[in-house]
Amino acid sequence: MKRDFLHVTDFTADEINATFELAKEVKARFKRREDYKPFKDHSMAMIFAKPSARTRISFETGFFRMGGHALYLGPSDISIGKREAVKDIARVISRYNDVIMARLFEHAHVLELAEFASVPVINGLTDYNHPCQIMADMFTILEHRGHLDDLKVVYVGDGNNIVHSWLRLAQRLPFHFVCACPEGYSPDAQTIADAKQAGLSQIEISHDPQRSVKDADIVYTDVWASMGQKDQAEERKKRFQGFQVNEALMAATGKESLFMHCLPAERGVETTDGVLESKTSIIFDEAENRMHAQNAILLKICGKA
C-alpha cells in the first residue's frame, strides 16, 4: 500500500515524533554536507496551481540534495481540473515520477489525485490545510524549547488552512491551542469538533486576542487574506482590526513568547516590522525547517526510513 501525506492526521503520533527525529538527523547531515543520496535516480513532480516561494524552493532543493530530481509544474503547465481531469493527470504522472507534491486550490482535488496516483502524494497546501507547514512549525518549536511539554500555542488572525492543520496536529500531540479570530472568520466547525473529540489537547476558539495570548509560549499569525481571497483584502483589513500581532499584543503574553509566521508576511497588516524582526521571532528557523521536515516526510512515505 502506498502512503500519502495529505493531512497531519495521516500520521500516527509515533510517526509524527519519528518524523521530527528524522528531520533532526537529516538536517545534521545537510549541515555537514554529507554525501546522502537516498533519492538517487528518483524524480518528484511538483504541481503548483498557486504561487509559492518556500514550498517550491524547499522541496526542490531538499529533493535535489538527497539525490533526486524535482520537476516544477506551474499554474499554466497542467491547469489541473481544467485542461485535464485530476484522475487522468494522476495516472499519467505516476507513469513518470516516483512521488508527487501538489499545491492546489480545492482540497477535493488533492484527495482525488492521491486516490488515482499509484505513487505517494504530498499536500503542499490547499484551501483547507497545509500539513507540511505545521510539521515544520512543531519541529521548530521542539528545537527551540527542547521539548513539547506544557505548550500553549496562540494563533491570532484568520481561521484558515494553517489553523486547520494546527487543529489536526492537536488530535495527535497534546498541547493547548487557541485560535483568536474575528467573529465570522472561525475555522471549519467539523475540524474544531474533531480536535475537541480527540480529547488530547485543550482547544479554544476565541474572539479576544488580548486575553487569549496570556501565557502563550508561541504567538503565531498568518495573512488575513489567503491565496484565492486577495479580492477580500480591504474588507478583511477592516474586520480584523484589533487582531494585528504587534508589540503591544506580544507584551500582553506576560512572558518571553516566541513569534512565528508561516510567511509570506504582509508587513504592517497582520503583524509589524518590529515583531517580525524582534529577538523572539523565529520565522527564518521556521522557514528553513520546511525543508528538513519535508525531507523527513518524503523519506517516510517513500519507504526510505
Give the residues lining the site for ligand NVA (CB under 6 A): 125, 160-162, 222-223, 226-227, 262
222 contacts which partner out of ligand CP, ligand NVA, none, CB within 5 to 8 A by kind?
A: ligand NVA
Phi-psi region of 125 (alpha: psi -120 to 50; beta: other; left: phi over 0): left
Shortest CB 52 distance to ligand CP, Å: 3
Partner whose footprint covers residue 161, from ligand NVA, ligand CP, none (CB < 5 to 8 Å by kind): ligand NVA
Backbone angles phi, psi at 54, to 5 degrees: -55, -45
Amino acid sitting at position 185: Y
* Nearest CB to ligand NVA, comparing residues 26 and 262: 262
Is residue 43 within 8 A of residue 70, CB to CB? The reply is yes
Q: How far apart are CA 27 and CA 288, in angstroms?
A: 10
At residue 92's C-alpha, the angle toward residues 69 and 98, to 5°, is 35
Q: Which residue's Cβ lies closest to ligand NVA?
A: 226
CB nearer to ligand CP: pick between 103 and 109: 103
Comparison of 111 and 262: residue with beta carbon closer to ligand NVA: 262
Residues lying near ligand CP in the complex (CB under 6 A): 52-55, 125, 133, 262-264
When CB distances are held under 5 to 8 angstroms depending on the partner's kind, the choice from ligand NVA, ligand CP, none that residue 112 binds is none
| Catalytic residue, candidates 132, 181, 262, 302 | 262
Smallest separation, CB 94 to ligand NVA (Å): 27
181 given a catalytic annotation:
no
Q: Are 211 and 247 in contact (CB under 8 A)?
A: no
What does 53 bind: ligand NVA, ligand CP, none (CB cut-off 5 to 8 Å by kind)?
ligand CP
Cell of 275: 515583531
Residue pair 219/271 in contact (Cβ under 8 Å)? The answer is no
Give 222 or 286: the residue with its C-beta nearer to ligand NVA: 222
What's the first-to-final CA gap in the chain, in angstroms? 16
CB of 162 to ligand CP, least distance (A): 9
Residue 239: other Cβ atoms inside 10 A = 16
The Cα–Cα gap between 96 and 246 comes to: 48
H or E, element range at 100: strand 99-103
The listed partner (ligand NVA, ligand CP, none) that binds 160, CB under 5 to 8 Å by sort, is ligand NVA
The smaller minimum CB distance to ligand NVA, of residues 68 and 124, is found at: 124
- Catalytic residue numbers? 262
